[in-house]
Structure 1
């Protein structure tokens, strides 16, 4: 493992500290003085996992497998019991493994590759766009940002600050402009400049679903005038600190938009990092990126094996 891989893994482990400590501390308390498993034990284990937002379906699968193991094995100490629990949990969380996205420096299937970023206000959408731009730019790709959230006050200005930090150009028309017009200008400019990636910010007005659908549909139609296959991806940004509310948000958005993947942010600020696994399983959507810090390079490609290892303290 190279230096930068070790640095990313270290940041991932640091970002999941609250969740990991909550799970491991609670399991240690649960196994203290025990060498066998009973109904009370299993019920408490369920509560621990659900509190970490691992998800009901995944939690019940873990408990079922532990029940089967307990029928066949005996444990001479609480350490043996504790290690068995962590092993089973890691195995179960890895069962739903999916391919993680390609690295930022990999070849893209289209040029320009148009990515629509959606999500309600306050979930970290603006910073996620900047972090994606930074990673693509750092990998040698020409990136443009389209500031199509023209509804919210100061949204364009905030995005411009982050675009400057990422070192990439941004196309904007100011507050109140037609979002589709901004996207048309951005995609046209990307074609003319032979840019590799266009990242499109959008407004997060989920409370008005009809208007949201109409606006996003118009954006897509306009983008297709210049790039027929656009958008190539629609990424939904969710705030990891909101737990199961993020799942509800995702369900609402997927009714409006053909979401292709998820970005889960703010995992360093929650003890419920298990929501990443819960969302992926419940919605049958791949988690493509996770945010584990506030710095511009703290957005990581989601790798389930590394994530579970960091979550369980086995990385």
Structure 2
């Protein structure tokens, strides 16, 4: 079996990542299929779970912060992001073969067969379901309800200019799950947190999609980056503003105070930096701004934890 080229050949994988450095040959293509060499994806899936757990702790300080749930959701995010990426690559194998950034992915490059990819996807999904079973019945049902959105997302870039919205619906689900795992139900704060997180995802994934605008135009793939064209920066800024505003109301309703507001101002500063400094004509610049959303999630999570502690 031919090997994928080493670090740097997969454009959106950081050089020297642990998969390229340490994964054995038999695991390497599957690790890349699950995007373990690009951890930003599972972090972005995990952070809404984390800051939703933090908001629940602020709303009910006596119950404390559930560190066990945090660890379980982190493992679940890795598994479900891997399963989702595998499914996406199965569906998009013909498209990926035509795009410079994705043609070296394991399926279009022949590293993994479609049958083996399906088996790998099922394995990850089953392990993720085992993680889900550790929570209350309401949260289990909520997790199962997300499967429909996960199933339709890969097809959205073919039929709508708003695939980033559908990604937002999927990647923001943790904003509901974190809260429900502690409260056994939903309420206005997690719902507002969810909608704010959707706006966050739309904005950062539009920045990510700036890398592919030329290839996407050639093969007919739709995105908000293409839809908004030269106005992309303004639209990204607007959605970041919506995200911060909805998060502000959600946090205040849950009991946040000055500590929460200060943390959210730091997040807003990161949003502003991304919008002001992003260069749509420079793929490396856009990718770096996209990656910086790791810090957005971390700071927002720590904001809620600090609010709970103080």
Settle same-fold status: TM greater than 0.5: no
Q: Which has the larger radius of gyration?
A: 1
TM-score normalised by length of structure 2: 0.24
TM-score normalised by length of structure 1: 0.23
Answer 1 or 2: higher relative contact order, Cα 8 Å, separation at least 6: 1
